[in-house]
Structure 1
């Protein structure tokens, strides 16, 4: 490996492989316990299953196949969804694919709660071997670490992020060295390369098979991160990091743990830490804690990035997003998400209190997300027609079969804690579906209210009071006049010298270059239209982005007034159907959503917000007028000083 490539490879180890890299802390222990024996037959069978799970699921599915399919360089479930153009919902099989994408995204939100809890908890449990008297402090120390981790999110990790790669590189080297030392003392473990050992273990005790396979799945729970982080490093860098560092370190460590348990069955209580000699035990605990914090940080950052993508593609309610590193668009902080993750993750630690107990809840969300990735991947391959259709179908059947081998056993975890990630994912799915359905319904209601065409605006406006300024009016449509402007004119009899209607469209690509971003159209002397197209990974500083277009039409960007509509949905009076439930949830979300003025970074002193109610009660007329027939009042929020 050249010196030029090494920094990128080390960087990938710190971001991409944190989750899967910390699995040795608990994966082999749980799989061997599920086999209920420390015999050569059981240990070799477990090692064989773990090795081939890594080969088939991570190396074959993700590294060899899935990483080769990207959306303009980006990967992940929502990247596949936008590649399939699912953000523009249409009924039929595309609607089903949209549901699959939302389920996958929801499962990753659920995983974002459990992964930090089990990772940090399993590392801190090493203190029990250093000093048994510290056992009662494992949970408080874990909670303290998580509190510091979540509290530090607001400041961003770009300053200390340079340390993540070197620490994780050291981690994988230590994994490999400790495992190799133990394995060479009992080289029989290398015969586990033969997949027949795993097959025989499952065949000999089918009643234990589901528990063994569910535990073996813990070995590969971080595999989805390889695809989700594709945009940061690219396929070649991730592939090099996997084959040169991550995979050798993981496999050798698992084999070393197996060799240790074969030599001393009592070591099964914590085979990872018992690989180290006594004088290295405390340093290994410290290194493990650092590795799990880095892994947790990668998961949290991934959830923030996923949430931002969901917001920009209208899959999630708009929330306040703060960029923590100018050079990395994916490094964002979302306060609402961070608080939810912190509360739920810390509560999970208090409820389960050990990584052993928490492992029974871990895995089902990731297994489901992997299936959704496979379904979307195969659908995209069919659409792009890169391969012959029979070959695409065959590949889809093979990798879906691999996923199902682990998904079905994980269903057995539902009675023992697996309902937790499903409940978390269900909540996230309810939020996304409610937002999706609610925004579509609100758009239909606004359309039925009877917009004025932009070309007809001059003839419909009153002109008794004209403000001698240019109004930049945010519009959902590039064709019709927004309700906000019409209401402002009706209520206050106010008009402007000149109007610039700006519509923002989020493309199905992560990034849009400057040459493709702006489209300007002159409607008349008083009116112009600006269409802004951005990628779903890009931040939107609207004044800065449209400034060139304003100058092009002779408008000073520093003197314009921004006019923004603010819809206030009214909840149904009675809950009589699923649609009413979704509408009620949407109303709650809408009232807590970030305002458009904040999302688009509009200058507060030059922004005029006009609020107007929208009724979601099925018994009301679509335009939400009260029974008296009078128009609903609008609220006008004047520019802040």
Structure 2
């Protein structure tokens, strides 16, 4: 699955999919770093989202939009659901199985989609549907990345009302202030403050475990809730209430997909070790502690405790420090989601689903630390509007879950393709696993659909808007390239007819082209208006492969046409940033080395004319034209020297 912005023929040997040499040594997964160090780092980044769930998940199940009486059968049933959800969804599905589906070390919906697409090469009927599913999962992620900072920070700051009841009117201003500060810091990067993430989250999870254990010791009988029979009994006696409760229970596993998405940062083993040895026990101890505290109280007290069980786990003198620590943890969780939005956007740009956007690297050492201004400010505005519109974390909880469960369901469908088509697992065993995952995912997704009127419409709306934008851009680029290719002149014909008749001038002309074949429109326009050709003409295409990294050895391929004409393809992985001058500086097989002062870069800028030709609805053509006008300049995106660039316009009817 290649970038529609960067298609090219393969004039020489292309990189081979699955060839480990495509990954340069500096991108081999964490060579030389200790497993313990990486595991601690993963705790600070990967588990922020799922780690902050105890602040609101248990509370929302009982005191949310579908209230439950906090008595023994319900508490034991909910705890059993939480535990087995963590075991099936997080431990079995993501940690044990899906994390094996790494695309050269990288994870996430788009990386999984690229892997599945390669496994189904030639099966166009299936590939198209799976691509749409993967794109929709990506679209849902953007909705999730707006809700997560809002609900996480707001739920933590609401702990101030437990410390002092009169603080209620300050919750929203404080939460908005924290969120604005968080988004303002993004341009500076997280390298400096990132070193604090690991120790803070280690302390946070340790506090979760201790608070839960203290209350659990007072009522150890709560441990029996780990028996799945309590969950089954809940469904047997009150099927409707149990079904509705699943819409809130799923909040305990939100962030599971982050384990897979962030796999490229730390590797599979450190994340697995952190989850099984430290994070999972800490989370379950805290949930069990909340349940034990409620069951130890009188029915009247239990009704009050359930309004904020997380903060009431701590004694009075420790509640304010707990609020501060929880707020720091939610900021870290929000930072991870925001960084994830930047990473997903970069992948989508490289894979041809989003127009070029301005991307800034905030760290010279860590290639993955990037900043995308338009995404940052859009997220900030939407997060603030969410806080102002929903006002409480309980209201936001109604909007949370649909995006996450939708993405989880899509991951299961993509995983099914991998198990049967690529990994060739035993059909019976793989079928049982997929049915189990589908049963759980569909139950959670359908339970969350009941929250659509109460706020669940928001992530669906954002998802459909993002899906429309992503698919419109991909389809529009495909149609535009098709129209350009229809009138393209073969290079060999052009070289024979024009090279000898046109005047040749000193220097090198590099014509950037996305066409698979043929002469770029910019070259034809230049010859038509200026009546000259440079001594050396390079038709250059940047091609984004469906692997995260392409090694330097495979960076460029060159084909010579004679008369000073060359076709060059520059290959990058979808996690790499194109730098054309750097790629040209070491290229071989084009005669004398390139000198930037003697090189001119010619870019074509298309102006679209909406038409009734088959392809897209007129409104989508106009939307695509707007996206094309607002895309980042190819000059900046490919790091071309501004004083050596010439832009030539043309009109295209799609």
TM-score strictly above 0.5: yes
Structure 1 position 578, deviation (Å)? 5.9
Shift of 1:462: 8.2
Q: 1:607 to 1:454 in 2, by over 3 A?
A: farther
Name the structure 2 match of 1:497.
535
2:446 counterpart residue number: 408
Q: Find the counterpart in structure 1 of residue 605 from structure 2.
A: 566
Match of 2:169 in 1: 136
Distance (Å, rounded) in 1 between the aligned partners of 2:117 and 2:233: 45
Q: Distance in 2 between matches of 1:215 and 1:146?
A: 24
Q: Contact conserved, 1:20 with 1:220, CA < 8 A, in 2?
A: yes
- 1:203 is aligned to 2:236: yes
Matched, 1:182 2:221: no
Answer yes or no: is 1:38 the counterpart of 2:76.
Answer: no
Deviates more, 1:562-571 or 1:61-70: 562-571
The TM-score normalised by the length of structure 1 is: 0.92
Gaps of 5+ in 2: 1-31
Equivalent position of 2:49 in the other structure = 19
The 2-side partners of 1:373 and 1:326 are apart by 33
Matches within 5 A, 1:237-636: 237-264=270-297, 265=302, 266-454=304-492, 456-460=494-498, 466-477=504-515, 479-549=517-587, 553-558=591-596, 559-572=598-611, 579-616=617-654
505 and 464 in structure 1: CA distance in 2 versus 1, 3 angstrom threshold: closer
1:571 Cα offset (Å): 3.4
Q: What SS class does the counterpart of residue 318 from structure 1 fall into?
A: coil
Q: Per-residue deviation at 1:402? A: 2.0
For 1:410 and 1:481, how far apart are their aligned partners in 2?
Answer: 53
Residues 80/577 of structure 1: CA separation in 2 closer, same or farther (3 Å cut): closer
Partner SS state of residue 536, structure 2: strand
CA distance in 2, matches of 1:582, 1:515: 40
Spell out, residue by residue over 1:605-629, the C-alpha distance to the aligned partner (whole angstroms, 9 max, x if none). 111111212123xxxxxxxxxxxxx
SS of residue matched to 1:468 = strand
How far has the Cα of 1:210 moved from its partner? Answer: 2.6
Kept in 1: contact 2:113–2:414 (CA 8 A)? yes
Contact kept in structure 2, 1:457 and 1:481, CA below 8 Å: no
Counterpart-to-counterpart distance in 1, 2:62 and 2:220: 18
CA contact (8 A) 1:102 1:432 kept: yes
Deviation at 1:417, TM superposition (A): 0.6
- Distance in 2 (alpha carbons) for counterparts of 1:388 and 1:477: 43
Secondary structure in 1 matching 2:519:
coil
- Cα offset for 1:27? 0.1
Displacement after TM superposition at 1:577 (Å): 9.5
Structure 1 residue 328: deviation in Å? Answer: 2.5
Number of residue equivalences: 614
Q: Which residue of 2 aligns with 1:636?
A: none
Distance 1:147 1:454, change over 3 A: farther
* Secondary structure of residue in 2 paired with 1:476: coil
Counterpart CA distance in 2 for 1:395 and 1:553 is 58
SS in 1 for 2:334: helix
Using a 3 Å threshold, how does the CA distance of structure 1 residues 315 and 454 change in structure 2: closer, same or farther?
farther
Task: Measure the CA separation in 2 of the matches of 1:575 and 1:345.
Answer: 40
SS in 1 for 2:195: helix
Quick check: 1:84 aligned with 2:152?
no
Deviation (angstroms), 1:552:
5.8
Q: Which residue of 2 aligns with 1:60?
A: 92
Contact 2:355 2:631 in 1 (8 A): yes
In structure 1, list runs of 5 or more residues that go unmatched.
Answer: 617-641
Task: Check conservation: 1:462, 1:494, Cα contact below 8 A.
Answer: no
For 1:214 and 1:88, the matched residues in 2 are separated by 37
What SS does the corresponding residue of 2:259 show, helix, strand or coil?
helix
Say what the alpha-carbon RMSD is for the aligned residues: 2.1
Whole-Å Cα distance in 2 between the matches of residues 465 and 447 of structure 1?
Answer: 27
Question: Which residue is 1:628 aligned to?
Answer: none
Q: Distance in 2 between matches of 1:329 and 1:377?
A: 28
C-alpha distance in 1, partners of 2:278/2:246? 25
Report the CA distance shift for 1:168/1:98 in structure 2 as closer, same or farther (over 3 A). same
> How far, CA to CA, are the matches of 2:183 and 2:610 in structure 1?
34
**Separation in 2, partners of 1:239, 1:446:** 49
TM-fit CA distance, 1:336? 1.0
2:607/2:650 contact within 8 Å kept: yes
CA shift at 1:278, angstroms?
1.1
For residue 89 of structure 1, report the CA deviation from its aligned partner: 9.8
Match in the other structure for 1:127 = 160
Residue 575 of structure 1 deviates from its aligned partner by 12
Matched residues in 2 for 1:390 and 1:51: separation?
26
CA distance in 2, matches of 1:140, 1:596: 41
Query: Out of 143, 152, 155, which is 2:185 matched to?
Result: 152
